[in-house]
Amino acid sequence: MFSFPNPVNEVAARTVAAGVIVMSLATLLLSLVDSRFLWLTVPIAYGFVARVASGPRFSPLGLLATRVIAPRIGHEKLVAGPPKRFAQAIGAFVTVLTVVLVATGFVLGPQLLLGLMVVFATLESVFALCVGCRIFAGLMRRGLIPEETCEACNNISLRVPQTA
C-alpha cells in the first residue's frame, strides 16, 4: 500500500510536473491579487506527500497522469523510481514548508517557494531535467545513498517487479 513504483514512467512523471506548474502558478498569481489564495498550497502539498508515500495511488494528479494523460501521450519511458521518489520528497518538503508559512501568516516566503516549484517543475516537465534526481545522483556518488539503491537504479532487471 505504501510503496513507490520502480521503475517509473517518465512520461507520467513529466505530466505530474506539468500539473504542478499549473497549480503552483495559478496559486502564485492568485495570491498576488489576494494572499488568502495561498491556502491553495494545501492540495499541492497533499499531492506531494501522497506521491512520496505511495506513488500515484492516493494522489489525484498522479492518478490523472498515470491512468489518463500519459497513456494517451505515447510510448512510456521507464526510469529508476528511487530518484523520482527523492524528487517528490523535496517537493513535499518545500510545499509543506509553504503551508506552514502560510498558516503562520507569511506571504512573501510562500510566494517565493511557489515560484521555486514552478521553476523546478518546468525543468522536469519541459526539459526532462529532474533537479531532485540530479541531487540524488550526487548523493549516490558521495556514498550517502546505500549501495543497494545504487544497484537498483543502475540495473533495470532489479527495477522490474518480479512475479513470485
Residue 106 lies in a domain: yes
Residue 164 lies in a domain: no
The rounded distance, in Å, linking the Cα atoms of 129 and 93 is 19
Residue 3 lies in a domain: no
The rounded distance, in Å, linking the Cα atoms of 86 and 70 is 21
Q: In 3-state terms, what secondary structure has residue 33?
A: helix
For residue range 109-155, list pLDDT tens digits in order.
Answer: 999 999 999 999 999 999 999 999 999 999 999 999 887 886 767 66
Domain of residue 74, residue span: 8-159
The rounded distance, in Å, linking the Cα atoms of 47 and 147 is 29
State if pTM tops 0.75: yes
For residue range 9-35, list pLDDT tens digits in order.
Answer: 999 999 999 999 999 999 999 999 999
Q: In 3-state terms, what secondary structure has residue 59?
A: coil
Residue 54 lies in a domain: yes
Q: Give the count of domains, the chain.
A: 1
Residue 87 lies in a domain: yes
51 with 19: CB under 8 angstroms?
no
Residues 6+ apart with CB under 8 A from 132: 83, 84, 86, 87, 88, 89, 90, 91, 120
Residue 104 lies in a domain: yes
